[in-house]
Amino acid sequence: MIKYQAAPYPFATHRIILALIFLIIFYFIVTELRWDWLPKYLPKLWQGLWVSLAMLFSTVILGFLLALPLGLVQVTGPRYLGRLAAGFCTMIRGTPLLLQLWLIYYGLGSVMAQFPELRDTWMWPYLRQAWPYAVLALTLSFAGYEGEVMRGAFAGVPRGELEAGRALGMSPTILFRRIWLPRAISRALPTLMGEVILQLKSTPLVATVTVIDLYAVITRIRQDTFITYEPLLLLAAIYMILTGLLTLLFKWYERRVPSMGV
């Protein structure tokens, strides 16, 4: 019969059986598959994990800071800046991140090849490495998606709240800092949290431009040992744990700030 079902009791019989089945599967994965490589690569895996997390948090913060003006000018104008910002968001959201990353890394690289004099400047130690390009690509991508969200958030703050602030004699700067910005951010937070998890799942792409993140370490293990699936299983498990931790963190925060998203 068609009927909406109630959520099952957390310790329903079938769940206990399911958990047992998964324990057995887990036991076989641990004992039957090959994990002898794990101790040897553990230090590298830690380093890779650290790089992945650094990529995630730095680009989320930088991307968000860039998203604020991108969203704001689309609401306040001037018109031509708003158009420019909207165009940027469309471009980022309309093309694959992998392509953007390769355009930035190899495209700029092919231009750099024509200017050997760059190699004598102070920028060269940074231009040489891969991580600045990866950070740039991931930041622009996050800003593109989040800029669109912030536009909606800025536009959606009720006019009455802004007018109340103005009536109290707040200057435009104070009004922005005390009312408009915090209200817009709190409106955007639920979406922002979803985007952070999407960003986490985008970080492995940086391995294709020689940044040694967690995914790159796993690739090296696969190439060194010729073991195909076990390292990938471990990688999937690590990402599941990371996603789970982030989700828990967001849930905890959501409970602390009940007005979020309103």
**Which residues of this protein are in contact with other proteins, per CB under 8 A?**
1-5, 8, 12, 14-15, 18, 90-91, 93-100, 102-103, 106-114, 116, 118-119, 127-130, 200-205, 208, 210, 215-216, 219-220, 222-223, 226, 228-229, 232-233, 235-236, 239-240, 243-244
Helices (H), 203-228: 214-225
The least CB distance from residue 164 to other proteins, in Å, is 29
The least CB distance from residue 218 to other proteins, in Å, is 9
Complex with other proteins: residue 98 or 257, whichever CB lies closer: 98
Burial class (CB in 10 A: 0-12, 13-18, 19+), 69: middle
Burial class (CB in 10 A: 0-12, 13-18, 19+), 170: middle
Single out the residue of 262, 258, 250, 253 nearest to residue 188, CA to CA.
Answer: 262
The least CB distance from residue 244 to other proteins, in Å, is 7
Complex with other proteins: residue 5 or 173, whichever CB lies closer: 5
Cβ neighbours of residue 147 closer than 8 Å, sequence gap 6 or more: 66, 67, 70, 71, 74, 85, 88, 89
Complex with other proteins: residue 138 or 179, whichever CB lies closer: 138
The least CB distance from residue 256 to other proteins, in Å, is 24
Locate 42 and state its tokens: 């553990």
Cβ–Cβ < 8 Å for 141, 92: yes
The least CB distance from residue 247 to other proteins, in Å, is 9
The least CB distance from residue 176 to other proteins, in Å, is 30
Complex with other proteins: residue 47 or 222, whichever CB lies closer: 222
Locate 101 and state its tokens: 């990353």
Complex with other proteins: residue 26 or 65, whichever CB lies closer: 26
Complex with other proteins: residue 41 or 215, whichever CB lies closer: 215
Locate 65 and state its tokens: 């800071």
